[in-house]
Amino acid sequence: MLYHYSVGGHDPKITIQPLTEVKRIEKNDQGYLLKSKQWQEETEFDYQTEKVILATGYKPNIPDWFMKRYEDEVVWEDEKLFKVKRNYELTFKEPKENKFYIVTNLEHSHGTAATNLGLAVQRNMEIINDLTGEMRFNTQKSQIFQQFLPKND
């Protein structure tokens, strides 16, 4: 989608900032102020934005600090497995102002292939549809490009 925006001359108003660590997020009247460090350039900077989506890397991992911070607020399926809704939203005991989407450690809720990179596009389309409250991507149509036919003897 970003590619189509760029070749069409449209500004998607999205910033992708690789190799960047967000040290702190401060909520303010304009949205969020991100206190950040870019590892390659070894520079620190502030970035003001209305929305924040954190892509925390490929390795399945949920930081301990995150789970400790919310452990009493999250709905747990057992001692180690948190409850995740069909739309990948983390389930809290009380509704939150913002949603938390989980794209890792999903095997218990979405099956063994849940974190497969081949399904990342499907997961992302469903999350974007939920975030925007509209069907931006048709996730119901068939996306299969290969078929397994029975062997003819």
Instruction: Tell me, yes or no, whether 82 and 99 share the same domain.
Output: yes
Instruction: Tell me, yes or no, whether 75 and 115 share the same domain.
Output: yes
SS3 12: coil
Confidence (pTM) = 0.55
> Would you say residue 74 lies in a domain?
yes
Of the candidates 15, 11, 18, which has an alpha carbon nearest to the alpha carbon of residue 32? 15
> Would you say residue 151 lies in a domain?
no
Instruction: Tell me, yes or no, whether 77 and 8 share the same domain.
Output: no
Instruction: Tell me, yes or no, whether 98 and 125 share the same domain.
Output: yes
Domain enclosing residue 114, as ranges = 56-134
Looking at this protein, which amino acid is placed at residue 35? K
Instruction: Tell me, yes or no, whether 130 and 73 share the same domain.
Output: yes
Instruction: Supply the pLDDT for residue 19.
Output: 82
> Would you say residue 17 lies in a domain?
yes
Instruction: Tell me, yes or no, whether 29 and 89 share the same domain.
Output: no
User: Block means of pLDDT (10 residues each) for the chain, length 153 residues?
Assistant: 71 77 92 92 91 70 77 89 90 92 82 75 88 87 51 51
Instruction: Supply the pLDDT for residue 142.
Output: 58
> Would you say residue 111 lies in a domain?
yes
Domain count, the chain: 2
Instruction: Tell me, yes or no, whether 40 and 63 share the same domain.
Output: no
**Rounded to an integer, what distance in angstroms lies between the CA atom of residue 99 and that of residue 88?**
10
Instruction: Supply the pLDDT for residue 121.
Output: 80
Instruction: Tell me, yes or no, whether 47 and 65 share the same domain.
Output: no
Instruction: Supply the pLDDT for residue 148.
Output: 47
> Would you say residue 142 lies in a domain?
no
Instruction: Supply the pLDDT for residue 59.
Output: 63
Instruction: Tell me, yes or no, whether 11 and 77 share the same domain.
Output: no
Instruction: Tell me, yes or no, whether 98 and 121 share the same domain.
Output: yes
Instruction: Tell me, yes or no, whether 85 and 120 share the same domain.
Output: yes
Instruction: Tell me, yes or no, whether 37 and 4 share the same domain.
Output: yes
**Rounded to an integer, what distance in angstroms lies between the CA atom of residue 55 and that of residue 46?**
18
Task: Find out whether 77 and 88 touch, Cβ atoms under 8 Å.
Answer: no
Instruction: Supply the pLDDT for residue 56.
Output: 63
